[in-house]
Amino acid sequence: MALITCAGLSLGYEGREIIKDLNFTVSGGDYLCIVGENGSGKTTLMKTVLGLIPPMAGSVVMGDGLKAGEIGYLPQQTQVQRDFPASVREIVLSGCQSRQKGFFYKADDRALADRNIERMGIKDLRDRCYRELSGGQQQRVLLARALCAAGKMIVLDEPVAGLDPRVTAEMYRLIEDLNKKDGITVMMISHDIGAALRYASHILHIGRRVFFGTKEDYMSSVIGREFISQGGEDR
């Protein structure tokens, strides 16, 4: 059963439409990569799916018991966020806010945060100040935070942006393990078409042209072949 169904979706901002009549689904266990040229509306689409901004038309329907508060989200970071003066554990624990029914974290919230800290291999950073960490370490912290909110699904907006090749490979491996070993559904924006084709089960290409389907069908499609041959630039 589909976790998310987007039907007839039109998106934009300040009254300007940038995506029209978009249709796709995300099912349990999928690894969906969203690709396309800059300015095509990938982040706007992601925020709409998460319920952070309304669509101009169409609908986003969640199924199989999924709720918006049960989707872990790792957005692109701003410089202010990178300099946030809190400990690693405090940052990760804040991912439990959607689970709270009161003002204070409960013992099971703290236990979940500690499990995800260990899961991301950052136990030794638990008491460190977040802003003192490297970019790769910060992304692991934010992924652990997203997992505290994730019941069935995580949504990632360019999770390897600005990371060196070694750290990028480590992040992709962590995300792949969450999908394949833990069964967490992944929806990820990526400018790295090579990584998208390596890890994704499905591709959503948006821009002047639109494609949604399996990775294999995308690779054999006209839009996919052209995009791949141009190194991820839609012309």
- Asked if residue 185 lies in contact with residue 29, where contact means CB atoms within 8 angstroms, the answer is yes
AA identity, residue 127: D
Residue range 103-134, pLDDT digits in tens: 678 899 999 999 999 999 999 999 999 999 99
Q: What's the confidence (pLDDT) of residue 13?
A: 76
Work out the average pLDDT over 52-71. 90
Work out the average pLDDT over 86-112. 85
Q: What's the confidence (pLDDT) of residue 102?
A: 57
Distance in angstroms (rounded) separating the CA atoms of residues 74 and 146? 6
Pairing of strands 2-13, 16-27: antiparallel
Work out the average pLDDT over 58-78. 88
Kindly indicate the confidence band of residue 218, based on its pLDDT and cuts at 50, 70 and 90. Answer: very high
Residue range 140-199, pLDDT digits in tens: 999 999 999 887 899 999 999 889 999 999 999 999 999 999 999 999 999 899 999 999
Q: What is the CA radius of gyration of the chain?
A: 18
Mean residue pLDDT of the chain comes to 90
**For residue 235, pLDDT beyond 50:** no
* Residues 6 or more apart whose Cβ sits within 8 Å of residue 50: 68, 71, 73, 155
Work out the average pLDDT over 55-78. 88
Find how far residue 235's CA is from the centre of its chain. 25
Distance in angstroms (rounded) separating the CA atoms of residues 89 and 122? 10
- Asked if residue 211 lies in contact with residue 203, where contact means CB atoms within 8 angstroms, the answer is yes
More confident residue, 217 or 66: 217
**For residue 201, pLDDT beyond 60:** yes
Distance in angstroms (rounded) separating the CA atoms of residues 112 and 214? 33
Work out the average pLDDT over 21-28. 96
Directed axis angle between helix 165-180 and helix 135-149, to 10°? 20
Q: What's the confidence (pLDDT) of residue 99?
A: 65
AA identity, residue 93: L
Kindly indicate the confidence band of residue 16, based on its pLDDT and cuts at 50, 70 and 90. Answer: confident
Spatial CA neighbour of 95 closest among 155, 144, 165: 144
Residue at token pair 């833990």: 182
Classify residue 129 by its DSSP letter.
B
* Residues 6 or more apart whose Cβ sits within 8 Å of residue 181: none
**And the tokens for 204?**
């959503």
**For residue 46, pLDDT beyond 50:** yes
- Cβ atoms < 10 Å from Cβ of 224: 21
Q: What's the confidence (pLDDT) of residue 103?
A: 65
Kindly indicate the confidence band of residue 210, based on its pLDDT and cuts at 50, 70 and 90. Answer: very high
Residue 184: is it exposed, middle or buried by C-beta count within 10 angstroms (0-12/13-18/19+)? buried
